[in-house]
């Protein structure tokens, strides 16, 4: 069963690998993964769709939360959330089919982003199932080329973000002591 996990993590080298490493180490296949900076440029928001047995889900979220770079990992599979996907596709459109293709694209809320004699490039967003349908329909007009963004999800609940405050370093007290170390040398 596909799980949707939303993760807020530090925007640091290797942080992505720590999260995906937890999944690959257990042999889980990631169906989709999106990640981008948040309003705070030091943080990223990641949405992962992954095939995990439901009873292991909580454990997985806990292990993600254990990662130092992860500020919050939340399970959106059954939580109130909106999930969308972006599809960019190129479809060959001979003259006689062009109007029909445009009509169909409109039905799916698609928007033409490039038009040429060969055909169109169309973008559309929506739920995964809707996008599957959209792609199926476009395929009926001939050869297409598709790129999907993977799921992007946002929780509809305001979840309090628990962050650790800065911790004063107690070892600084040792600084004043007369020691043989390099400190006072």
Partner 1 sequence: MSSSNLMSGARMLLECLSREGVEIIFGYPGGVTLPFYDTLYDNPIRHILVRHEENACFAAEGYARSTGKVGVCCATSGPGATNLVTGLVDAMMDSIPIVALTGQVSTKLIGSDAFQEADTFGITRSCTKHNFLVKSIADLPQIVHEAFYIASTGRPGPVLVDIPKDVFQAQGHYTPVHAIHLPGYKIVTEGHSGQIRRAAQMIWEAKRPFVYAGGGIIAGEASQELRELVEIVDAPTVCTLMGLGALPSEHPNFISMPGMHGSYAANMGMTHADLLIALGVRFDDRVTGRLSAFAPHAKVIHVDIDPAEVGKNRNPDLPIVGDVKKVLPKLNKALRELEPTMAEVNAAERKAWWKQIRAWQQEHPLQPVFSSEEIKPQHLMYAIDQISKGQAIVCSDVGQHQMWAAQLIRFNAPRLWINSGGLGAMGFGLPAAIGAQFACPDKLVFAIVGDGGFQMSIPELATIASYGLPVKIIVMNNGYLGMVRQWQELFYNNRTCAVELDCFPDAELLARAYGFRGRTIDKPSELEEALREAVNEPGPYLLNVKVSPFDNVFPMVPAGGAINEMVLEPPRPVAVPAKR
Site residues (vs partner 1, CB under 8 A):
9-10, 13-14, 17-18, 21, 25, 58-59, 62-63, 65-72, 162-169, 171-172, 174-175, 179-183
How many Cα atoms sit within 13 Å of 13 on the Cβ side?
0
**CB of 151 vs partner 1, minimal distance in Å:** 23
Between 95 and 171, CB nearer to partner 1: 171
**CB of 165 vs partner 1, minimal distance in Å:** 8
Between 44 and 128, CB nearer to partner 1: 44
Distance CA 23, CA 44 (A): 19
- Structure tokens belonging to residue 184: 């006072």
Between 6 and 128, CB nearer to partner 1: 6
**CB of 58 vs partner 1, minimal distance in Å:** 7
**CB of 164 vs partner 1, minimal distance in Å:** 5
How many Cβ atoms are within 10 Å of 15's Cβ, its own excluded? 20
Q: Residue 109 gets which letter from DSSP?
A: T
Say if strands 2-10 and 70-75 run parallel, antiparallel, or are unpaired.
Answer: antiparallel
CB contact at 8 A, 51 and 83: no
């Amino acid at each position: 069963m596909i799980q949707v996990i939303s993760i807020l993590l530090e925007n640091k080298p290797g942080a992505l690998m720590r999260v995906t490493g937890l999944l690959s180490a257990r042999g889980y296949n990631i169906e989709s993964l999106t990640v981008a900076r948040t309003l705070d440029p030091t943080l990223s928001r990641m949405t992962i769709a992954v095939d995990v047995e439901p009873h292991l889900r909580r454990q997985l979220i806990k292990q993600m939360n254990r990662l130092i770079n992860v500020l919050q990992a939340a399970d959106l599979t059954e939580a109130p959330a909106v999930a969308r996907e972006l599809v960019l596709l190129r479809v060959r459109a001979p003259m006689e089919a062009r109007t029909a293709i445009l009509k169909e694209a409109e039905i799916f809320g698609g928007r033409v982003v490039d038009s040429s004699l060969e055909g169109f490039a169309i973008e559309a967003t929506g739920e995964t199932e809707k996008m599957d349908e959209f792609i199926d329909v476009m395929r009926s007009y001939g050869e297409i080329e598709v790129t999907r963004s993977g799921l992007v999800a946002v929780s509809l609940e305001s979840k309090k973000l628990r962050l650790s405050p800065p911790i004063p370093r107690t070892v600084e007290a040792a600084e004043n002591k007369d020691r043989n170390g390099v400190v006072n040398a």
